[in-house]
Chains A and B, each alone.
Chain A
Amino acid sequence: MTTSTNNIPAIVEIRRVEARDTLRQRWSNYFVLIYAAVCFIIAINLRDSILNATVRYSDVATGIRANYPANWLIDDDGDYVFQVRDVSRVGFKTAIIVDIQPLGLATTTRNLLDALSLDRAQTLTGYRTLEIDEAYILPDGSTGTAMLYTYVNAEVNPVLQTFPTIIEGLDVIAVRQEQAIIVTFLADARTFDAERPIFERLLNALEF
């Protein structure tokens, strides 16, 4: 017990003395933290490089060149230039379709959109146009037209017994030399916004 200067007993605090870490102990801890941080950055980088990996597509006949996502299935046998689909996705397979339509002298982009809408309304269940943007800014700075729409996709195979899926679609139309190039993005409405960057990347690298 100690006494203060005026002889009044003072409180003696008994405290456990904790050993301080050595330099090696401190650095071994820092090394682990640095290692984990570096691994996290590499993992993010690896994720981005795999998710954003692309394959080059080139069609001499139409003059279209594009970079489509790796691991997506390409198909150029239909009534379009090419179509790529994310076949690994469960449920509706997200798709990007590129097509070319000739434009007559009297045909406008709006006529083309109306024709597309009429055709889809007859073939797709619950088709509905949501929005038409006639001042859509294309990646090269020029103005194009975009149409947002929705429909219900029912599985054609009755054995699978799945619920119908609500699909959201986006057409982006650009006119070049009396030809309209139509780039269509189709995805499950629940994942449409999350997957739209994939479509934007393809659109940014599209050459025609």
Chain B
Amino acid sequence: MLGRFRSRTSKQPLTDGDKIIAAQDVVKIYETGATRVEALKEVSFSVDRGEMVAVMGPSGCGKTTLLNCLSGLDSVTSGEVWLDGQDLAEMSDKKRTDYRARRMGFIFQVYNLLPVLSAVENVELPLLVAGVSPKEARRRAMTALEQVGLRDWADHRPAELSGGQRQRVTVARSLVNDPAIVWADEPTGALDSKSAQDIMDLLRNLNEEQDLTIVLVTHDSDVGAQAHRIVRMQDGEIVGEERPERGDYVHAPADAEVVATR
């Protein structure tokens, strides 16, 4: 499988000056004993620099798998993934990890903050791992926290913060290394509507003001409606795309949306 994948990587880059993420014929198969699940079926997909894309679809449709494969958190079974002119398959685990540390930010549904570290310590982690001096890392982490409105909460541990605050810390952490791409997997999934809106406002502002590329996976059509483009998935395939008018929220349940797409 890997050989087949590698044999196709000596081609022209799929990304260029406009495209920052490009995937072509990406297949991801999970094999567990006798069970074989094709999570992604020859998915081709690209994201422009500075674009905010929402990947939507029902549970188990392969949204998160696509995000993992595109961000290099997971390997693909076949196909090509290019990030900012670099072929992911050509990169070693070490280089891919380093690339994530320097060029990517991640936001997860359950925050994934380290409970044993304070907010500022969580935020400065990517900088420390990238080799930034502790002093500089602390300065930049504080700036990032200020950006998300949590400067005064810097010394608090995650358990002492509300869900919305925790997710803001996650956003600050994803921004602190000045990334080219931010990956957000259900960033508002565990939040109440008010907190969810705060987070989305934050992401939208960052996207608009800093020209940050954001790929987010969501169930929530309100969230998706705030992206430049919605990519719809079903059973491991991209089944449609649409460009909502940003800010024009569609208050309909995710399942209804899926049915409508079908």
A-B interaction:
no
Q: Which residues of A contact B (CB under 8 A)?
A: none
